[in-house]
């Protein structure tokens, strides 16, 4: 990746993950302006409490770039579910049904699923550390295949 694209992808991941985690924190703990509707969901209540836990936990993972593709897939699915169960019944278009944030988050996280976390992430840092800790491979390490030819 060219350097500018690397920087933009990593910063995009951080911003999207941070905003998503802030939604979860606001809903679960009543901070940052509080939850939509003003009421913190009861522990374990479906789907609001679970969605808030996913927003905070998986959004945080995306923000720091750890298990990014898996966390982003969970986030994208959560927002797609929210869009189709909460917003879409109110109207087909996001401008009409209030589902713009859900649609934008769903597609943003899907982008991260497909393109990964970018170079400035814990995923990348961990893969570099693991690559350095492995001894270099040599042909003697693997199975040996002997090919016999006729007449020799």
Contact 120, 7 (CB under 8 A): yes
- Whether residue 138 lies inside any domain: the answer is no
- Whether residue 84 lies inside any domain: the answer is yes
- Whether residue 36 lies inside any domain: the answer is yes
Query: Residue 11 is part of which domain span?
Result: 3-124
- Whether residue 23 lies inside any domain: the answer is yes
Q: What is the pTM assigned to this prediction?
A: 0.82
Q: Residue 137: how many CA atoms within 13 Å on its side-chain side?
A: 5
Q: Residue 84: how many CA atoms within 13 Å on its side-chain side?
A: 6
pLDDT value at position 145?
57
CA distance 38 to 114: 35
pLDDT value at position 39?
84
Looking at residue 41, what DSSP letter applies? P
- Whether residue 142 lies inside any domain: the answer is no
Rg of the chain in Å (alpha carbons): 22
Number of domains in the chain: 1
pLDDT value at position 83?
96
- Whether residue 145 lies inside any domain: the answer is no
Stretches where the chain sits below pLDDT 50 are none
- Whether residue 103 lies inside any domain: the answer is yes
């Amino acid at each position: 990746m060219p350097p500018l694209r690397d920087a933009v992808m990593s910063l995009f991941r951080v911003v999207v993950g941070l905003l998503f985690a802030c939604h979860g924190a606001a809903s679960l703990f009543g901070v940052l302006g509080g939850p939509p509707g003003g009421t913190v969901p009861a522990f374990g209540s479906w789907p609001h409490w679970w969605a808030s836990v996913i927003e905070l936990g998986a959004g945080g993972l995306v923000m720091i770039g750890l298990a990014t593709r898996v966390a982003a897939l969970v986030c994208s699915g959560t927002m797609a579910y929210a869009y189709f169960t909460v917003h879409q019944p109110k109207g087909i278009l996001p401008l009409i049904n209030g589902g713009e944030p859900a649609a934008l988050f769903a597609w943003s996280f899907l982008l991260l699923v497909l393109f990964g976390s970018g170079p400035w992430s814990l995923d990348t840092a961990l893969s570099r550390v693991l690559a350095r800790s492995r001894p270099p491979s040599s042909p003697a390490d693997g199975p040996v295949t002997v090919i016999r030819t006729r007449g020799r």
